[in-house]
Amino acid sequence: MTKRVGMEVSIAVAEAAKLARAEVIPAYPITPQTHIVEHLSEIIADGELDAEFVPVESEHAAMSCCVGAAAAGARVFTSSSSQGLSLMSEILYIPSTMRLPMVMAVVNRALSAPISIWNDHQDIMVQRDIGWIQTFAENGQEAVDLTLHAFRVAEMKSVHLPVAVNLDGFILSHVIEPIELPDQEDVDKYLPRFKPRYKLDPRKPISMGPVGIPEIYTEAKVAHDRAIKNSKKMIVKAWKEFAEIFGREYHPIESYRTEDADLLLVTMGSISETAMTAVDAMRDRGEKVGLVRIRLWRPFPGLEFRKAIGKAKILAVVDRCLPPGAVCGPVGAEIRSFLYKIPGAPKIFSFVAGLGGRDVTVERFEEMVDKARAYAKKRPRELYEVIGVREQ
């Protein structure tokens, strides 16, 4: 039997990569991801994991090294945050269209300027379109479970795509939580040896990453788009397998007290736990409020989202990212666009909160709910509102 032990979430995620028997780990330290790769380098140095730890000179090199290792058929893990993730940007688009599986823990942190090491989702939203499967963890256990799930999904024959597991910087990464680390035996059952569809092998030479002339580029991108869209059923299948072995169930979208709710908060990541507390408080006062949490961000699980919102009349969508000059935050824009002109679609109000480590408290969620209700009666002037701004 596995035991629940108090453990820093970063250490637990590193242990998950160890349990997954990652073979190549190219990584560069950046706050707040550092503890993950630091712990992995210790594990490897201590001989507890037979893997190659590549201490690269930058994140650009880290991701390049990941691409090479995955092309050679290795099980690859890395982790990054914020500025580091941005430095990887040029390379991030490459393994996805080239269908190279790998797993990256993205420990979400704000982007400069001003310099901020604290949590929000701007770093990954900048990389929204890299063509990776992207999931968001709510708590430490989920970060561990999603990491194992990421390896399973990435390496499925019909998927063969990189996966980014997002966990909130500090709020998750540096907090000690009760974590149940699964047995090696069970993980081995869940994660069979990686057998890539193609790999670089001098005995059977192939070329990867050639130029795509205009006659072929569109088809290559469409093939990638179809692959990630089709991956959804395999992502769900891998969660079902996970539940059978480890007993914890995951779905693309989670609902909390949505039955008969006329207003739903929509969140991603760790703020969802506070949002649940807020929902409980409002329910106690007789308000018909619920929560919908997006766990699977890419591919966007439209069908499941539609089901989850049921007959709600108002959605208050929370973004932890403020794209200056945009129509609204990326999650708000996604949902607006997805529900546009669907008969009976709810009114959607977009809020931006929790930038650069600003706490999103129960009161803030209540404020958003109250505002969304007021805006449903009287249309607001702007398409989004940043919560908690000091104007004076």
Partner 1 sequence: MANSDAIVSVKSLTFGCHILEPGNAANFRTGDWRSMRPIMDMEKCIKCGMCWIYCPEMAYNQNEEGFFIVDLEYCKGCGICAHECPKDAITMVPEEG
Residues within the interface to partner 1 (CB under 8 A): 97-100, 160, 197-198, 205-210, 212-213, 215-216, 219-220, 222-223, 226
- Residue 257 CA: distances (Å) to CA of 86, 288, 312: 37, 9, 12
Q: Quick one: 222 or 386, whose CB is closer to partner 1? A: 222
Point out which residues pair with 79 in neighbouring strands: 105
Q: Quick one: 220 or 326, whose CB is closer to partner 1? A: 220
For residue 343, the minimal CB distance to partner 1 (Å) is 33
What distance lies between CA 207 and its chain's CA centroid? Answer: 31
Q: Quick one: 55 or 209, whose CB is closer to partner 1? A: 209
Q: Quick one: 226 or 240, whose CB is closer to partner 1? A: 226
Task: Look at the alpha carbons of 163, 168, 173, 178 in this order and tell me if their dihedral is positive or negative.
Answer: negative
Q: Quick one: 224 or 283, whose CB is closer to partner 1? A: 224
- Residue 273 CA: distances (Å) to CA of 9, 199, 268, 279, 362: 16, 42, 10, 10, 10
Q: Quick one: 14 or 228, whose CB is closer to partner 1? A: 228
Is 306 exposed, middle or buried, given 0-12, 13-18 or 19+ CB atoms closer than 10 A?
middle
Is 285 exposed, middle or buried, given 0-12, 13-18 or 19+ CB atoms closer than 10 A?
exposed
For residue 204, the minimal CB distance to partner 1 (Å) is 9
For residue 223, the minimal CB distance to partner 1 (Å) is 5
For residue 188, the minimal CB distance to partner 1 (Å) is 27
Q: Is the separation of the CB atoms in 384 and 371 below 8 Å?
A: no
Q: Quick one: 205 or 286, whose CB is closer to partner 1? A: 205
Q: Quick one: 202 or 324, whose CB is closer to partner 1? A: 202
**Cα separation, 120 vs 269, whole angstroms:** 10
Tokens representing 235 are 């992502």
**Cα separation, 129 vs 248, whole angstroms:** 29
Half-sphere exposure of 347 (CA within 13 A, CB side): 18
For residue 226, the minimal CB distance to partner 1 (Å) is 8
For residue 207, the minimal CB distance to partner 1 (Å) is 4
Task: Look at the alpha carbons of 123, 129, 130, 135 in this order and tell me if their dihedral is positive or negative.
Answer: positive
For residue 145, the minimal CB distance to partner 1 (Å) is 28
For residue 382, the minimal CB distance to partner 1 (Å) is 41
| 345 DSSP assignment | P
Residue 127's φ and ψ, nearest 5 degrees, are -100, 25
